[in-house]
Amino acid sequence: MAKKVFITSKLPGKIDRYLRSRGFTVSVYTGKEPVSKNELIKKASKAEGIITLLSNKVDREVLDELSNCKVIANFAVGYNNIDIQYAKKKGIVVTNTPGVLSDATAELTISLILACTRRLIEAEKFMREGKFKGWMPDLFLGTELKGKTVGIVGAGEIGTEVARRIKAFKTKIIYFNRSKNSIIENELKGKKVSLDFLMKNADIISVHLPLTEDTYHIINRSNLKLMKKSAIIVNAARGEVIEEKYLIELLKKKKIKGAGFDVYENEPDINPELLKLQNVVLLPHIGSATTETREEMAMLAARNVEAVLKGKKPITPVN
């Protein structure tokens, strides 16, 4: 019998057709709302392979019901939605989609930085409301990137690509990472520093850490208060790496200049205090949202499922 694959959402590209052409039986959840936990268990209980979204919580309760499952391919670089250790204990391979979304996320990060520094959202709203009466010397004065120090928190693939792009604005680069990054140091003349040093000295802080036990609230009250009053922080990684409530407090009191969010601590719920602030830019987790990238992510997830179910090594395993 053909092995079953369940996909928790319709994905860009034609991976369901691809998997069927490889001999698998494929079912796709097509509900308008994200699949619920009970529905996930019901639909996936007999599947050998499952392709999940970051928003799908695959905890012990779910894993215990996946009696036939051999592989869970997460449609994301992150995998904090899956209990990977328990999955490993049950003999289930977990994979992710690294590499293919680095460029798209880096481009979005630069957009977020520019939106914050040049006040693009405020200015665009101003135009739509018919308030523009002509050029004025002090209209929407922003912050120039040239000569500024940019701090990269997390110098993996995405952090490196952000550093490459932001360097083109004639900035100085410092970074915080567990190990040295030869590209940032040799190619971009950047310097590895402590997190406290970075938070204190950077004009722009760009966060690119994965969410782990060690990185949860790694940016917190103690180091957020070190930031310059003129500094801007953007997060295109995971909301939980920043102590969001304290960051909001700083923004409300104008202790820092601004912030850009593509992710949130309690996503998809957003702290209502953020919606009241004028010195923030808020995006709906679209870091990798290009047609090209999402199709590549989907195909990588499909190829991981195919590899494992055909007895081969997974392409991008995380456990």
Positions marked active-site: 238, 267, 285
Q: What burial class does residue 31 get, using C-beta atoms within 10 Å of its C-beta: 0-12 exposed, 13-18 middle, 19+ buried?
A: exposed
Write phi, then psi, for 54 (nearest 5 degrees): -60, -25
- Identify which of 38, 42, 44 has the alpha carbon closest to the alpha carbon of residue 7: 44
Please spell the DSSP secondary structure of 56-111, one letter per residue.
S-B-HHHHHH-TT--EEEESSS--TTB-HHHHHHTT-EEE---STTHHHHHHHHHH
Helices 102-117 + 291-309 axis angle, to 10: 150
Please spell the DSSP secondary structure of 243-301, one letter per residue.
-HHHHHHHHHTTSSSEEEESS-TTTTS--HHHHT-SSEEE--S-TT--HHHHHHHHHHH
Residues 6 or more apart in contact with residue 245 via CB below 8 angstroms: 265, 271
Helix (H) or strand (E) holding 6: strand 4-7
**Cα-Cα-Cα-Cα dihedral of 165, 170, 172, 178, to 10°?**
10
- Identify which of 157, 141, 239 has the alpha carbon closest to the alpha carbon of residue 259: 239
Alpha-carbon distance of 258 to 252, in angstroms, equals 10
